[in-house]
Amino acid sequence: MTSNTPPLTLEAVLDHFQMEEIHDGDVLARYVQAHPQFALQLIDLSRLIATSGVEDESPLSATEQSRIDTAWIAHKAAGPEVPPAGDPLAALVGEPSKALARKLGVPRQVITCFREHKVKASSVPGHVLQDFADALNVPAAHVIAAMQQPPSMAMGRSYKSDGKPGSGEQDTFEQVLIDAGVSETDRARLLAGVA
C-alpha cells in the first residue's frame, strides 16, 4: 500500500529545518537530499541561523568612523542637488506673491502663471529667475526644476469652457507678459538678458 501524502511546501520544509535542535552540516545535507528543489533556500536559512547570534556590538573606532564620514561626504557631493520636498513655486500665494509682483512690476497673474508651471523656464531671463529664487529662499536651479514640471490647474480655480481644453503647454515668458497686459517698455526691461 502506498501513501498519498502531498509534497511539503517550501515554508513547511524551512519550518521543519528551523525546528531541528542542531543545524550542522549533516542535518543540512539530509534536508537538501530529501528536498533538492529547496536546496538554495535551505542553505540560505542555514547561514542565517548560523550567523544570527554573531553581531559585533562594539563601537566603531575613530578611524572607521572617519572613513565612513569621508565616504558619506563624497557620496553626497557626487550626487545631484536634490530640491526641497514639494514644489517651491507653490509658496507663491498671498503676501509673497504680492511682494514679488511689486518687485518685478507685473500683475499677479504673471506670478500665478509661474506657480502653475505655465511658463517655459528657458524663456525667462536669469535676473528674473534669481528674483524668484530670492523670494522663495531656494537656489535658482530649484526654481528652474519646478518650472519644468507639467502645468497644473490650481485648486479652486475652475471655469466652464466654451471649447476643448488646451494641451497644457507652457508659454514663453514674453507671451505671459503680453497676455497680462504688461507695457512694451516693462516687457523690454524684464526680458533684458534673454538670448
Q: Does 95 share its domain with 47?
A: no
Cell of residue 44, nine digits: 540560505
Cell of residue 69, nine digits: 564620514
Cell of residue 40, nine digits: 538554495
Q: Which of 81, 78, 11 is nearest to 41 (CA)?
A: 11
Cell of residue 183, nine digits: 507695457
The CA distance from 23 to 82, in Å, is 48
Please tell me whether the overall predicted TM-score, pTM, comes out greater than 0.75 for this model: no
Quick: pLDDT tens for 142-181.
888 888 887 765 555 555 656 555 556 888 888 988 988 9
- Number of domains making up the chain: 2
The CA distance from 65 to 36, in Å, is 44
- The alpha-helical segments, DSSP class H, found in the chain are 10-19, 25-34, 39-51, 62-78, 95-104, 108-115, 126-136, 140-147, 173-179, 184-191
Dihedral, 162, 163, 169, 172 alpha carbons, nearest 10 = -60
Q: Does 180 share its domain with 103?
A: yes
The CA distance from 27 to 18, in Å, is 11
In a domain, 177, yes or no: yes
In a domain, 160, yes or no: no
In a domain, 71, yes or no: no
Q: Does 36 share its domain with 122?
A: no
pLDDT tens, the chain, 195 aa long: 556 777 889 899 999 999 998 888 899 999 999 998 988 999 888 888 887 666 667 788 888 888 888 888 887 777 655 444 578 888 888 888 899 889 988 999 999 988 888 988 888 888 888 998 888 888 888 888 888 887 765 555 555 656 555 556 888 888 988 988 988 888 888 888 654
Cell of residue 28, nine digits: 543540512
Cell of residue 137, nine digits: 529662499
Q: In this structure, which amino acid lies at residue 181?
A: G
The pLDDT value given to residue 122 = 86
In a domain, 68, yes or no: no
Cell of residue 119, nine digits: 511658463
In a domain, 62, yes or no: no
In a domain, 83, yes or no: no
In a domain, 162, yes or no: no
Main-chain dihedrals φ then ψ at residue 36, nearest 5 degrees: -65, -25
Which residues constitute the domain of residue 39?
A: 10-51
In a domain, 159, yes or no: no
